[in-house]
Amino acid sequence: MTDLLLSATDLSVRFGGVLAVNQVSFDVKRGEVFTLIGPNGAGKTTVFNLISRLYTPTTGAIMFEGRNLAEHAPHDIARLGIARTFQNIELFEHASVLQNLLIGRHTHRQTGLWSELFFTRPTRAAEIAAREKVEQVIDLLDLQHHRESLVAGLPYGVRKVVELARALCTEPKLLLLDEPSSGLNVEETDDMAFWISDIRHELGITVLMVEHDMALVSKVSDRVLAMNQGEVLAMGTPGEVQRHPGVVEAYLGSTDDVASLRRTVLA
Amino acid sequence: MRYIFKTAYDQDIRLAKHGGHVFWYGVLMLVLVAAPWLFPEYWLAQLTFVLIYSVVGLGLMLLSGFTGLFSLGHAAFLGVGAYTQAALTHHGVPAPIALIAAGLFSAAAGVIVGLPALRVKGIYLAIATLAFGFIVEEVFARWERVTGGNAGIHLSAPDVFGFKLDNDVSFYFACLVVTVLATLAILNLLRSPTGRAFVAIRDSEVSAQSMGIHLARYKTLSFAISAALAGVGGALYAHKLQFISPDQFNILQSVDLVLMIVVGGIGSVHGAFLGAIFLITMPQVIALGKDVLPAAIGQAPGLQGLVYGLVLIAFVLFEPQGLYGRWLKLRTYLQIFPFYRRGMFQRQKSYLKSDRLK
Amino acid sequence: MQALQIVISGIAQGCIYGLIALGVVLIYKATETVSFAQGELMMLGAFIGLLLMTALGFPFWIAFAAAVVAMGAFGIALERLVIRPILGQPAFSIVMLTIGIGYVARGAITMLPGLGTETHTLAVPYKDQVWNAAGLVLNVEQMVIIAATLVLSAVLYAVFKHSKVGVAMQAASQNQLAAYYMGIPVKRLNGLVWGLAAVVAAVAGLLLAPITFVHANMGFIGLKAMPAAVVGGFGSLPGALVGGLIIGVVEAMAGFYLPEGFKDIAAYVVVLVMLVVKPNGLFGEKLRKKV
């Protein structure tokens, strides 16, 4: 059993004239938290969409547990063990939180159409089993109060947690989190950091995430990949990447400006 | 105000959530079983029609209300079922077998219509179903060997393995059995993974896919099941009227079916039944109104169409959740009286943001 | 020669489909809602023209202009009273609303004593005239339809491409909230769009009247405009016209060369073929939600 869970090699995707992702290569080791950072438009979510097979790469390949993802349809990805959250929450608005989470159990379905039409005893047992699994996730993420609420009426912070919960219900090997802390306040972001840590240590799930909040990135990530304009800038530990001059320039402007800023502040 | 104290997951799974459900639906079933002795013949016939249209409405509700695929040509499936039943019973096939065959044939037709659905969405799908409806209607008119063309064909009373359902009461019970079975099937589907997959497809196709739901398979399934129910309803419809012709399955009938689920309340099983009741009783109400209104309005030929249109507009404007939505509001008002606030069921106003990718 | 004759006839009919489809696409481009009421608006336009000529004795061209203006006002009023309150509801509800409007229009006209249930002729000055050119017998009514369509399309193209109003309409359709922030009077624009669509429908109705006569069920022709809009690609104004022309010509050819019944369903077969071959229509845009 290989140490490498996901590896992207020379990944590129072109939309019309725009090269959104250009020769990006990285590996995600089993059990680690790997973060993609970069300014807006760097192509991070595009990489996620490539892994989820919503886009097809123009060149390059993504291997997951030795399988080439390009050979699989988008609905197969969950079955392989990859779950994701979306940047602009894609929940099922007119269903309750509980139903959203139960839909997350879809890949573990054991019943066929006919046994469902007649709601046979195995179907009932499968429903209860699914509910028990979902309740474990609800316990982990403290969603008990919101079980029966329709998603459409929930505040933004709670929805983000429901997205995470739904992804966890698929029992993934790899969890893709797209900006988990965007729109969350300090307290909610702290909770999120704890959960990501729990997911990694207690549930043994590998996490690949896109994030802008550097504090969160430093707190939970093992390795970081910095991207800019579709290309890889730097890869390494959070500290290494944050000190990389190219990364600093992409985020803050040229190193000269940062140096002068530091001089002004420290003076 | 009823508060359900939950101690087992089974309570969320089972159909009757509390004693009140058991009681009221039990009363309903008693009334329905006793109907032939409670209602005069004319109203029993109307009730039979309500049951038949409810079955069709359940199918359309599953397709449009729960899977979000809008069909403007559903009368075609009604017709496929009706003509299949007619053709098979003419050749001596017992009615129940023919009924199942009618459902299967309609399901097959549903799969065929569903094929373009896999590639197109929204208005494109609606137009595709509209086109399909017109084409099927024309096929009914032209394929004279099987359908008798525009002259139509007659059916006799259904023959259940030698037992002829040739009176209103026995046919009513047959329809009741079919309706109850169809309702239970749909309710079972909705509380299991397949039903949830349908809802997922309606609300967000992208995330449904990322949850492992095979879009093509479930969309086709939804079409097949809803077409099958429409076909079964069509077969019963054919036996009830004992005469069918292509113009009974035209665009106006399709719009009537959609009107039924919109007025009933999209997205609820109750809506199918309430909509069917509305569809069957509205002509009666208009007929009653004709005597009250001045002659110029009351006797004018276009009155029914005008009223239908006004009702449709009124429901979309003032009660988008349909009759069932209005009932929910009423029930909530009574349950939490006097704490009901006006904005309780208010929908969030959303601004138009184009889904089109430029 | 006969084939050409049929093609011309098909083009004329196709222009009518195209005009109605144009109205549908106009409304769609501006508000991303689909209106199934265009056919009935066309019928109303024809009836208004008829009433102006028979009851008030207007000459044809005055009646034409007056009917068009009246329908424009009606479209604006319709948007204000019925369409505006439901902005924000799912697309399907709005479709049902427009179907309801169609029912009301059809029912109301049918209820008019003596008028609604009859078929009437509109006394156009060029009625039953023909031109003989290059061995072809050209029906003037059809020629007027084609000419009017060309003129109207050119005007609309200019408006959308070059005027502020047109650009504002496009902005409002893509992101309403942003349009509000930019100071675009979105609601007023929507009213204008519906008025414009009603005007186009009225023109179509008055042009069609000599050929099909004026009666309450005229609006059903509008149903064929939906396939026309889809074939051209929903959201494309030239596409609506091209789609209409394609369907008109295919229909005319089917009526002549194919057995009975194919003419009625030609439009629908064409649209199904198009949806299989090119799901977004000829000039349609790729619909994909960005996540």
Choose among B196, B207, B215: nearest Cβ to A99. B196
Residue A93 φ/ψ, nearest 5 degrees: -65, -35
Show which subunits contact B, needing at least 3 CB pairs below 8 angstroms. A, C
Distance CA C91, CA A113 (A): 31
Q: Which pLDDT value is given to residue C87?
A: 74
Distance CA C180, CA B187 (A): 44
DSSP string, A214-260: HHHHHHH-SEEEEEETTEEEEEE-HHHHHH-HHHHHHHHS-HHHHHH
Is residue C254 situated within a structural domain?
Answer: yes
Tokens in use for C282?
Answer: 């000829």
Q: Which of B100, B188, B203 to mutate to test the interface with A (most CBs of A within 10 A)?
A: B203
No. of helices (H) and no. of strands (E), chain A:
11, 10
Cβ-based contacts of A45 with chain C (< 8 Å): 291
pLDDT class of B351 with cuts at 50, 70, 90: low
Cross-strand pairs, A231: A228
Residue with the larger pLDDT of the pair A223 and C119 = A223
Q: Calculate the alpha carbon distances from B269 to A94, B18, B66 in Å.
A: 15, 18, 9
Distance CA A39, CA A21 (A): 14
Tokens in use for C50?
Answer: 């008829």
Instruction: Establish if C88 touches chain A: CB-CB under 8 angstroms.
Output: no
% helix / strand / coil in chain A, to the nearest 5? 45, 25, 30
Q: Which of A106, A123, A160, A178 to mutate to test the interface with B (most CBs of B within 10 A)?
A: A106
Given a cut of 80, whether residue C287 has pLDDT beyond it is no
Q: How far is A107 from chain B (nearest CA, A)?
A: 6
For the segment C177-228, what is each residue's pLDDT rounded down to a tens digit?
A: 788 888 888 888 889 999 999 999 999 999 998 888 888 888 898 888 999 9
pLDDT class of C279 with cuts at 50, 70, 90: confident
Query: Mean of the per-residue pLDDT values for chain B?
Result: 88
Cβ-based contacts of C291 with chain A (< 8 Å): 45, 49, 54, 86-88, 90
Q: What is the rounded average pLDDT of the residues C53-63?
A: 86
For the segment B259-312, what is each residue's pLDDT rounded down to a tens digit?
A: 999 999 988 999 999 999 999 999 888 888 887 777 767 677 778 889 999 999
Q: Cβ distance B196 to B75 under 8 Å?
A: no
Is residue C290 situated within a structural domain?
Answer: no
Q: Which pLDDT value is given to residue A2?
A: 60
Q: Cβ distance C243 to C8 under 8 Å?
A: no
Given a cut of 60, whether residue A264 has pLDDT beyond it is yes
Least confident of A37-46, B180-189, C243-252: A37-46
Contact C110 B130 (CB under 8 A): no
Cβ-based contacts of B193 with chain A (< 8 Å): 102, 105-106, 109, 111, 116, 130
For the segment C60-89, what is each residue's pLDDT rounded down to a tens digit?
A: 888 899 999 999 999 999 999 988 888 777
Q: Which fold has domain B49-335?
A: ABC transporter involved in vitamin B12 uptake, BtuC (1.10.3470)
Residues 318-347 of B with CB under 8 A from C: 320, 347
Choose among B13, B202, B214: nearest Cβ to A127. B13
Instruction: Establish if C287 touches chain A: CB-CB under 8 angstroms.
Output: no
For the segment A199-236, what is each residue's pLDDT rounded down to a tens digit?
A: 999 999 999 999 988 889 989 999 999 998 889 989 99
Residues 6+ apart with CB under 8 A from A53: A69, A70, A72, A73, A74, A76, A77
- Residue from B230, B131, B301 nearest C226 by CA: B131
Is residue C291 situated within a structural domain?
Answer: no
Domain boundaries, chain A: 1-81+172-238, 90-170
Show which subunits contact C, needing at least 3 CB pairs below 8 angstroms. A, B
Is residue C260 situated within a structural domain?
Answer: yes
Distance CA C286, CA C278 (A): 10
For the segment A36-70, what is each residue's pLDDT rounded down to a tens digit?
A: 998 888 889 999 999 999 999 999 999 999 899 99
Choose among B297, B313, B320: nearest Cβ to C100. B313
Least confident of A68-72, A90-94, B163-167, C235-239: B163-167
Angle at B220 between CA B217 and CA B223, to 5 degrees: 150
Number of alpha carbons in the 13 Å side-chain half-sphere of residue C92: 24
Given a cut of 70, whether residue B355 has pLDDT beyond it is no
Q: What is the rounded average pLDDT of the residues C264-281?
A: 87
DSSP string, C95-132: HHHHHHHHHHHHHHHHHSTTTTTS-B----TTTT-EEE
Three-state secondary structure readout of B83-95: HHHHHHHHCCCCH
Q: What is the rounded average pLDDT of the residues B162-191?
A: 90
No. of helices (H) and no. of strands (E), chain B:
16, 4
Instruction: Establish if A111 touches chain B: CB-CB under 8 angstroms.
Output: yes
Q: Which pLDDT value is given to residue B256?
A: 94
CATH of the domain at C208: 1.10.3470
Q: What is the rounded average pLDDT of the residues B42-47?
A: 92
Q: Which of C83, C96, C250, C262 to mutate to test the interface with B (most CBs of B within 10 A)?
A: C96
Cross-strand pairs, A14: A19
What distance lies between CA A74 and its chain's CA centroid?
A: 16
Q: What b/e sequence results for B85-115 when a residue is b if at least 16 CB atoms lie within 10 Å of its CB, and e otherwise? A: bbbbbeeebebeebbebbbbbbbebbeebbe
Q: Which pLDDT value is given to residue A69?
A: 92
Q: How far is A223 from chain B (nearest CA, A)?
A: 25
What distance lies between CA A27 and its chain's CA centroid?
A: 15
Cβ-based contacts of A170 with chain B (< 8 Å): 211-212
- Residue from C217, C173, C180, C160 nearest C46 by CA: C217
Q: Which pLDDT value is given to residue B356?
A: 46
Given a cut of 60, whether residue B42 has pLDDT beyond it is yes
Is residue C242 situated within a structural domain?
Answer: yes
Tokens in use for B130?
Answer: 């509209």
Tell me how far apart the terminal alpha carbons of chain C are, to the nearest angstrom: 55
Q: Which of A72, A75, A163 to mutate to test the interface with B (most CBs of B within 10 A)?
A: A75
Cβ-based contacts of A85 with chain C (< 8 Å): none
Instruction: Establish if B124 touches chain C: CB-CB under 8 angstroms.
Output: yes
Q: Which pLDDT value is given to residue B331?
A: 87
What distance lies between CA C97 and its chain's CA centroid?
A: 18
Distance CA B134, CA B131 (A): 5
Cβ-based contacts of B208 with chain A (< 8 Å): 92, 103
Instruction: Establish if B207 touches chain A: CB-CB under 8 angstroms.
Output: yes
Given a cut of 70, whether residue C140 has pLDDT beyond it is yes
Residues 253-272 of B with CB under 8 A from C: 255, 258-259, 262, 266
Residue B294 φ/ψ, nearest 5 degrees: -60, 150
Distance CA B205, CA B216 (A): 11
Q: What is the rounded average pLDDT of the residues A251-258?
A: 62
Cβ-based contacts of A134 with chain B (< 8 Å): none
Is residue C137 situated within a structural domain?
Answer: yes
State the residue range of the domain holding C124: 2-277
For the segment B68-124, what is each residue's pLDDT rounded down to a tens digit?
A: 999 999 999 999 999 999 999 888 888 899 999 999 999 999 998 888 778 787 888
Q: Calculate the alpha carbon distances from B185 to A112, A115, B33, B358, C282 in Å.
A: 14, 10, 20, 43, 42
Instruction: Establish if A114 touches chain B: CB-CB under 8 angstroms.
Output: no
- Residue from B107, B112, B58, B103 nearest B84 by CA: B103
Instruction: Establish if C291 touches chain A: CB-CB under 8 angstroms.
Output: yes
Q: Which pLDDT value is given to residue B32?
A: 92
Contact A95 B199 (CB under 8 A): yes
Cβ-based contacts of B210 with chain A (< 8 Å): 52, 74, 77-78, 83-84
Domain boundaries, chain B: 49-335
Distance CA C73, CA A219 (A): 64
Contact B204 A93 (CB under 8 A): yes
DSSP string, A156-192: HHHHHHHHHHHHHHT--SEEEEESTTTT--HHHHHHH
Q: Which pLDDT value is given to residue C289?
A: 62
Task: Strands of chain C (E only): list them.
Answer: 130-133, 136-139
Tokens in use for C27?
Answer: 């409304």
DSSP string, C137-180: EEEHHHHHHHHHHHHHHHHHHHHHHHSHHHHHHHHHHHBHHHHH
- Residue in chain B closest to C261 (alpha carbons) equals B138
Length of chain C: 291
Bridge-based pairing of strands A67-68 and A59-64 is: antiparallel
- Residue in chain B closest to C99 (alpha carbons) equals B309
- Residue from C53, A95, C208 nearest B66 by CA: A95
Please give the ipTM for the structure prediction. Answer: 0.89
Residues 136-155 of A with CB under 8 A from B: 152
Residue with the larger pLDDT of the pair B347 and A233 = A233
Q: Which pLDDT value is given to residue A267?
A: 60
Q: Which fold has domain A1-81+172-238?
A: Rossmann fold (3.40.50)
Cross-strand pairs, A67: A64
